[in-house]
Amino acid sequence: MMKMSEPAARRKSKLFTRQELTLFVLHLIQINPAHGYEIIKTIEGYSMGAYIPSPGVIYPILSLIVEEGYASVAEIDGGKKQFSMTPAGSEYLAARRKEIRVVEEKIKTRVMKNNPPPRSDVIYAIENLKITLRTKKYNENPSDEKLAKIINIINEATDKINKL
């Protein structure tokens, strides 16, 4: 069990208890070693902006999991610290898979509350694009030139949508 002081264990962030956020950070590090800012951005993306942890929350958690031996740290890219899972961290997480699923459900609930599902015609349009792209790729095996045109069309559409 993590060695956290009693007040630290009771403090809550906007969405998670500190213990839950610690588990989720470990889970993310296990999937992909990362530095602190990347972890913050990953949580923001995972929650579709519904929760953005502050550096003042994330960095103490990262220090704690290194102290506990659940993650290791290495300097990369001019002094950034990259956090990676250790075997002890993997064991710790393996014993807490159900707790991680609870955290993921909390995120999903928050996301759905803040972002209602898109209209069915929007979902249809997105799926139609994906199917068209897969069909082009697998049935036609487009040239690099044709792929570049497709990418350009998608990027132009994205820009137009962003400007709405």
Cα 22 from Cα 19, distance rounded (Å): 5
Is residue 85 within 8 Å of 26, Cβ to Cβ?
A: yes
Mean pLDDT of 132-153: 85
CB atoms < 10 A from the CB of 83, how many? 25
For the stretch 52-90, pLDDT in tens is 889 999 999 999 999 999 999 998 877 889 999 999 999
pLDDT band at 143 (very low <50, low <70, confident <90, very high): confident
For residues 52 and 13, which has the higher predicted lDDT (pLDDT)?
52
Structure-derived torsion over alpha carbons of residues 40, 18, 61, 1, reported in degrees to the nearest 10: -140
What residues contact residue 100 under an 8 Å CB cut-off, 6+ apart?
A: 23, 24, 27, 93
pLDDT of 36 reads: 92
